[in-house]
């Protein structure tokens, strides 16, 4: 006959192990995802030479041409574009919310940022297609259709802004007030304090925020399909001016998966899983880089 | 207090669920009689082409109003999915907006295609393009990228912006077959890879209507006043011309079944091919099956 | 301060000028920088207003009486309303939350409450905890289309659940799991250890402490995480695009296919001529998201008030 106390301890112990299993669910799911995606991609990897996949730019599945290089470049470029536009905006907003704006303004801007982050991506995509693309088309350069990297970067920048802003703001707020006080006491202006003291201290959090933004940008699908043009071509400048490369259409890795998964014949479908694997690996790399940056900045 | 809020939210959610689950069976337009006898409800699953989907949904909706004990489920996914699902039985009826290819016929010899409607494919341009008429050869050359400027056809000195559907789309496959065709050596004439790709008829419509000097192709049912439909060989892209065969680019909208349609599927198909069904087909902008 | 500056070559007057000029420069830089920062905030708020404004403007045209209560009727003109999509969305949210919440909260509890224990096999436990954290963080960064692909490969095809609410909610649960785990962890971490110690001192076991003391206190934070996940599910498209199927009928079982409002929006805008109806669906969606955000703010305000001893 167990005493009440013993019973309670058995329950305790049992629950602990159950919860341990729960905690491992994430890693199990992650493992399963990797497993399944990789498994489905094997047929294509076995029949198509890797150099044909990764070094060729022609993607015509109905003719057994499966080069994804152009898509990789497309994804990377649109991510870079969105970072160029979005990171300054986001960090600016974070600074605004954490250091500069008075309370009433914060109460307006912060919910606005939150709401921006909750809007479904299809709406951003539609908005981009119907409003932004015609606007970009106003840039009168031959070959500019409005669809392309620029429109996509703008849309993506707006979409990753909330992610970066919220986490960066948290990181900035976490800097101890004593740091700021010390700097101000030495005669620095508020702005000097921000740039020389607060931001460097919050660096790891800000980097984490940006990395999360990168992940979001690489993974965005629906909005991209609608504004980037989806042409599988290597982005090149439209004329002598190298900046016009941003007016080119492109195709993202995610876009290929979403538009073609429903139509795909077996090899084609397996190839789409290969793209999934590539995306998976890219995101892992980004995460690992982030973690090492954060670790190194914690000296 | 927190626990209360938590449970309150749960209860409200349950109430909403309950409230929604009930009236669904007896909505403003009774789609099924409220006194339908319990049990023995046949269900028909349909999957496939996104072009056929809106029409199939409409037909299904009307059919369910007049026929008891039938539940029709329409999913999209593309003509390819339509063929696959019909062949492996995951759907009772597959939708395809094109003929079956030779490979598909060899791989699935028991697939039967029943034409429920026909659809013309129109060549559309943005209203600011001055060209009115093209030959099929010209259309092919434009989409191959051989003709790149409207002035080569007598129009303005502007680049032609191509808009196409994504690979694997039934509409694109039909276009490829009927317009692009093959060259002397039997190789497919390819659509230029600089074309903007959109993943649905509606997106093509929006893109061409808002992109100056653009050209694309579209299911005729989607035509509206925001784009201009070109004449092919001086034949206008109208349902009448498509129906009587003078307009060259017409493709069948197929319901695919494993073997001849039977049972509830047959009843549905027969209804679609009857006057009642065909009226709806024509009203939605398509052409009668026969 | 001036006493400490030993600039033999400068007179104090020059020094004063230098300092005030320098101060002017720094002030100017600050004002310039501040205006940039304010501009950033302005652009952000404006973007929100423009997007929402556009949706509402077009959407109001698409509303008709009975929009919310009639089911979609198909056809190229996108006739009908969105009633079944609302129900599908609600079902999907409920199913996903049912799966993800126990798993996520349980995982969060373990990672915070039990992970620090010095008990048998603590080295392996510590390693497992690190592995678990790695899993959560990585999972959080995986794009939703990958979850869709995964759902398609595992639930739809291999397990033969087909395109259904079940497949979709399982895939969706994987998607929101990291969010639930993270917010649970944060909520639990915010509770002072004194609270736990007090309970143990009174003789409660660990689990009793968690169940009766810690969890109720952490409830607002945990609920915030759940509400966040609800918002995520409602606005997600890519995941459900490949697992849910797209039929607009009223779902009758967990194996039914369905269409969420976000998917319906996409479908209306792309495959039919009814752009205004698509925007009208957007209005309903955005309004729901606004309500959800308000809920989050209310609940998290309670969080700040609640944990105060």
pLDDT digits (tens, 9 = 90+) for C279-289: 888 898 999 99
Read off the pLDDT band of C163 (50, 70, 90). confident
Query: How far off is chain A from B79, nearest CA to CA, in Å?
Result: 7
pLDDT reported for residue B24: 34
- DSSP characters over chain C: -GGG---TTS-HHHHHHHHHHHHHHHHHHHHHHHHHHHHHHHHHHHHHHHHHHHHHHHHHHH--TTTTTSPEEETTTTEE--HHHHHHHHHHHHHHHHHHHHHHHHHHHIIIIITT---TTHHHHHHHHHHHHHHHHHHHHS-HHHHHHHHIIIIIIIS---SSHHHHHHHHHHHHHHHHHHHHHHHHHTS-HHHHHHHHHTT--HHHHIIIIIHHHHHHHHHHHHHHHHHHHHH--HHHHTTTB---SPP-STT--B--HHHHHHHHHHHSS-HHHHHHHHHHHHHHHHHHHHHHHHHHHHHHHH---
Chain C CB contacts of B272 under 8 Å are none
Share of chain B above pLDDT 70, in %: 86
Mean pLDDT over each residue of chain C, to the nearest integer: 81
Q: What would the mean pLDDT of B217-246 be, rounded to a whole number?
A: 86
CATH of domain B120-250: 3.40.190.10
DSSP letter, residue B89: T
Read off the pLDDT band of C76 (50, 70, 90). low
Pairing of strands B42-48, B93-96: parallel
pLDDT of residue C3 exceeding 60: no
pLDDT reported for residue C7: 52
Read off the pLDDT band of C143 (50, 70, 90). confident
Nearest by CB: A263 against B78, B159, B206:
B78
Q: What would the mean pLDDT of C54-79 be, rounded to a whole number?
A: 79
Chains contacting B with at least 3 CB pairs below 8 Å?
Answer: A, C
Residues C223, C292 contacting (CB under 8 angstroms): no
Q: Which tokens go with A223?
A: 């909005």
Rounded distance between C-alpha atoms, residue A80 and residue B126, angstroms: 33
What are the residue ranges spanned by the domains of chain B?
A: 44-119+251-288, 120-250
Q: Could you give the 3-state DSSP secondary structure of residue B197?
A: strand
Rounded distance between C-alpha atoms, residue C306 and residue A35, angstroms: 43
pLDDT reported for residue B280: 87
Q: Which residue out of B78, B168, B205 would a mutagenesis test of the A interface target, given it has the greatest number of A Cβ atoms within 10 Å? A: B168
Task: Tell me whether A56 touches chain B (CB under 8 Å).
Answer: no
Task: Tell me whether A172 touches chain B (CB under 8 Å).
Answer: no
Instruction: Return the bridge partners of B164, or none.
Output: B197
What architecture is domain B44-119+251-288? 3-Layer(aba) Sandwich (3.40)
Rounded distance between C-alpha atoms, residue B61 and residue B67, angstroms: 10
- Is there a contact between A111 and C43 if contact means CB atoms under 8 Å apart? no
Mean pLDDT over each residue of chain A, to the nearest integer: 86
| Residue of B52, B197, B168, B23 whose CA lies nearest to B114 | B52
pLDDT digits (tens, 9 = 90+) for A222-277: 899 889 988 888 888 877 788 888 888 889 999 888 888 776 677 788 888 999 89
The predicted model scores a pTM of: 0.82
Q: Are domains B44-119+251-288 and B120-250 of this chain identical in fold? A: yes
Instruction: Supply the range of the domain harboring residue A189.
Output: 72-298
pLDDT reported for residue B40: 58
pLDDT reported for residue A190: 86
pLDDT of residue B63 exceeding 60: yes
Read off the pLDDT band of A298 (50, 70, 90). low
- Range of B48-57, C202-211, C282-291 with top mean pLDDT: C282-291
- Complex-level ipTM beyond the 0.90 threshold: no
A58, A59, A65, A70 alpha-carbon torsion, rounded to 10°: 50
Chain A CB contacts of C148 under 8 Å are 258
Residues A133, A236 contacting (CB under 8 angstroms): no
Residues C141, A212 contacting (CB under 8 angstroms): yes
pLDDT of residue B170 exceeding 50: yes
Q: What would the mean pLDDT of C91-115 be, rounded to a whole number?
A: 88
Which of A14-23, B65-74, C175-184, C248-257 is least confident?
Answer: C248-257
Share of chain A above pLDDT 70, in %: 97
Residue of A nearest to B195 (CA): A231
In a domain, A49, yes or no: no
Nearest by CB: A19 against C26, C114, C297:
C114
Q: To 5 degrees, how large is the angle CA A216–CA A219–CA A220?
A: 85
pLDDT reported for residue C118: 47
pLDDT of residue C307 exceeding 50: no
pLDDT digits (tens, 9 = 90+) for A84-141: 999 999 999 999 998 888 999 998 898 899 899 889 999 999 899 889 998 998 888 7
Read off the pLDDT band of A75 (50, 70, 90). very high
Mean pLDDT over each residue of chain B, to the nearest integer: 80
- Is there a contact between B285 and C76 if contact means CB atoms under 8 Å apart? yes
pLDDT reported for residue B37: 41
Nearest by CB: C270 against B60, B200, B285:
B200
Q: Which residue out of B102, B193, B216 would a mutagenesis test of the A interface target, given it has the greatest number of A Cβ atoms within 10 Å? A: B193
Task: Tell me whether A61 touches chain B (CB under 8 Å).
Answer: yes
The number of domains in chain A is 1
Rounded distance between C-alpha atoms, residue C283 and residue C58, angstroms: 9
pLDDT reported for residue C10: 53
pLDDT of residue C121 exceeding 70: no
pLDDT digits (tens, 9 = 90+) for A127-171: 998 899 989 988 887 778 888 899 999 999 999 999 899 889 888
Give residues 171 to 230 of A whose Cβ lies within 8 Å of C.
187-192, 195, 212, 215, 218-222
pLDDT reported for residue B23: 33
Nearest by CB: B202 against C216, C269, C299:
C269
Which of B7-21, C76-90, C158-172 is least confident?
Answer: B7-21
Which of C11-20, C24-33, C37-46 is least confident?
Answer: C11-20
pLDDT reported for residue B5: 45
Read off the pLDDT band of B199 (50, 70, 90). confident
In a domain, A76, yes or no: yes
pLDDT of residue C267 exceeding 50: yes
pLDDT of residue B18 exceeding 70: no
* CATH assignment at residue A258: 1.10.3720.10
| Residue of B75, B79, B70, B85 whose CA lies nearest to B33 | B70
- Is there a contact between B221 and C162 if contact means CB atoms under 8 Å apart? no
pLDDT reported for residue B217: 93
pLDDT reported for residue C6: 52
Nearest by CB: C271 against B5, B28, B200:
B200
pLDDT digits (tens, 9 = 90+) for B112-145: 999 998 888 999 999 988 888 999 899 999 999 8
Residues C54, A112 contacting (CB under 8 angstroms): no
In a domain, A117, yes or no: yes
Handedness of CA B275, B280, B285, B289 (dihedral sign): negative
Chains contacting A with at least 3 CB pairs below 8 Å?
Answer: B, C
Chain C CB contacts of A29 under 8 Å are 135, 139, 174, 177
In a domain, A178, yes or no: yes
């Amino acid at each position: 006959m167990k005493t009440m106390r013993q019973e309670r301890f058995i329950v305790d112990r049992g629950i602990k192990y159950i919860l341990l299993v729960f905690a491992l669910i994430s890693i199990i799911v992650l493992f399963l995802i990797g497993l399944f995606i990789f498994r489905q991609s094997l047929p294509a990897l076995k029949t198509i030479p890797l150099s044909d996949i990764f070094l060729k730019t022609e993607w015509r599945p109905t003719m057994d041409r499966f080069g994804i290089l152009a898509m990789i470049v497309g994804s990377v470029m649109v991510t870079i574009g969105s970072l160029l536009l979005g990171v300054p905006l986001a960090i600016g907003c974070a600074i605004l919310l954490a250091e500069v704006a008075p309370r009433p303004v914060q109460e307006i801007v912060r919910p606005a940022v939150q709401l921006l982050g909750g809007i479904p991506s299809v709406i951003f995509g539609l908005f981009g297609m119907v409003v932004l693309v015609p606007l970009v088309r106003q840039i009168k350069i031959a070959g500019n259709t409005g669809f392309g990297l620029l429109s996509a970067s703008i849309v993506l920048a707006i979409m990753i802004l909330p992610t970066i802003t919220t986490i960066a703001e948290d990181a900035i707020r976490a800097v101890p007030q004593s740091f700021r006080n010390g700097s101000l006491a030495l005669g620095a202006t508020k702005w000097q304090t921000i740039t020389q003291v607060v931001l460097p201290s919050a660096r790891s959090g800000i980097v984490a925020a940006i990395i999360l933004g990168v992940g979001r940008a690489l993974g965005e699908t629906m909005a991209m399909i609608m504004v980037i043009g989806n042409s599988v071509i290597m982005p090149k400048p439209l004329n002598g001016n190298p900046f016009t490369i941003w007016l080119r259409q492109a195709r993202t890795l995610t876009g290929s998966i979403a538009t073609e998964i429903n139509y795909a014949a077996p090899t084609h479908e397996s190839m789409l899983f290969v793209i999934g694997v590539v995306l998976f690996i890219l995101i892992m790399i980004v995460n690992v880089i982030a973690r090492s940056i954060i670790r190194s900045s914690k000296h | 207090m927190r626990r209360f809020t938590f449970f309150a939210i749960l209860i409200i959610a349950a109430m909403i669920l309950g409230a929604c689950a009930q009236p669904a069976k007896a909505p403003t337009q009774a789609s099924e009689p409220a006194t339908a006898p319990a049990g023995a409800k046949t269900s028909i699953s349909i999957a496939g082409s996104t072009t056929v989907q809106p029409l199939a949904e409409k037909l299904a909706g009307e059919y369910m109003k007049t026929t008891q004990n039938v539940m029709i489920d329409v999913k999209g996914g593309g003509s390819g999915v339509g063929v696959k699902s019909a062949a492996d039985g995951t759907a009772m009826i597959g939708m395809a907006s094109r003929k079956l290819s030779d490979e598909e016929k060899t791989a699935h010899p028991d697939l039967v295609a029943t034409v429920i409607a026909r659809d013309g494919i129109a060549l559309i341009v943005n209203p600011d393009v001055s060209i009115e008429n093209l030959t099929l050869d010209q259309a092919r050359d434009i989409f191959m990228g051989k003709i790149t400027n409207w002035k080569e056809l007598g129009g303005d000195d502007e680049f032609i912006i191509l808009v196409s559907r994504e690979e694997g789309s039934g509409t694109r496959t039909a276009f490829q077959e009927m317009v692009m065709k093959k060259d002397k050596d039997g190789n497919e004439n390819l659509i230029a890879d600089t074309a903007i790709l959109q993943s649905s008829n509606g997106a093509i419509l929006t893109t061409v209507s808002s992109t100056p000097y653009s050209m694309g192709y579209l299911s005729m049912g989607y035509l509206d006043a925001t784009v201009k439909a070109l004449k092919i060989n001086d034949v206008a892209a109208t349902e009448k011309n498509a129906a009587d065969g003078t307009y060259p680019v017409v493709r069948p909208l197929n319901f695919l079944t494993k073997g001849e349609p039977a049972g509830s599927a047959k009843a549905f198909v027969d209804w679609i091919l009857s006057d009642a069904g065909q009226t709806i087909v024509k009203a939605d902008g398509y052409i009668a099956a026969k | 301060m001036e006493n400490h500056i030993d600039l033999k070559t400068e007179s104090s007057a020059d020094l004063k000028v230098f300092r005030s000029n320098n101060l002017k420069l720094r002030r100017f830089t600050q004002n310039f920088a501040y205006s940039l920062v304010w501009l950033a905030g302005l652009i952000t708020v404006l973007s929100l207003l423009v997007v929402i404004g556009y949706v509402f403007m077009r959407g109001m045209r698409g509303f008709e009486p009975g929009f919310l209560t009639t089911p979609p009727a198909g056809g190229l003109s996108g006739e009908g309303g969105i009633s079944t999509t609302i129900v599908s969305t609600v079902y999907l949210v409920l199913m996903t939350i049912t799966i993800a919440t126990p798993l996520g909260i349980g995982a969060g509890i373990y990672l915070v409450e039990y992970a620090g224990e010095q008990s048998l096999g603590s080295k392996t436990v510590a390693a497992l905890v690190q592995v678990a954290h790695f899993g959560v963080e990585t999972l959080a960064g995986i794009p939703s289309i990958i979850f869709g692909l995964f759902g398609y490969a595992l639930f739809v095809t291999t397990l033969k659940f087909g395109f259904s609410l079940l497949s979709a909610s399982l895939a969706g649960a994987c998607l929101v799991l990291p969010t639930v785990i993270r917010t649970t962890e944060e909520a639990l971490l915010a509770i002072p250890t004194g609270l736990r110690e007090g309970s143990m001192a009174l003789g409660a076991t660990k689990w009793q402490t968690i169940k009766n003391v810690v969890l109720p206190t952490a409830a607002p934070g945990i609920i915030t995480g759940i509400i966040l996940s609800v918002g995520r599910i409602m606005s997600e498209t890519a995941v459900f695009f490949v697992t849910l199927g797209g039929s607009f009928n009223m779902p009758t079982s967990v194996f039914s296919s369905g269409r969420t409002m976000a998917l319906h929006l996409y479908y209306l805008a792309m495959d039919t001529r009814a752009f205004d109806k698509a925007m009208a669906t957007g209005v309903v969606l955005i309004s729901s998201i606004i309500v959800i955000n308000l809920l989050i703010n209310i609940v998290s305000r309670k969080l700040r008030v609640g944990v105060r001893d």
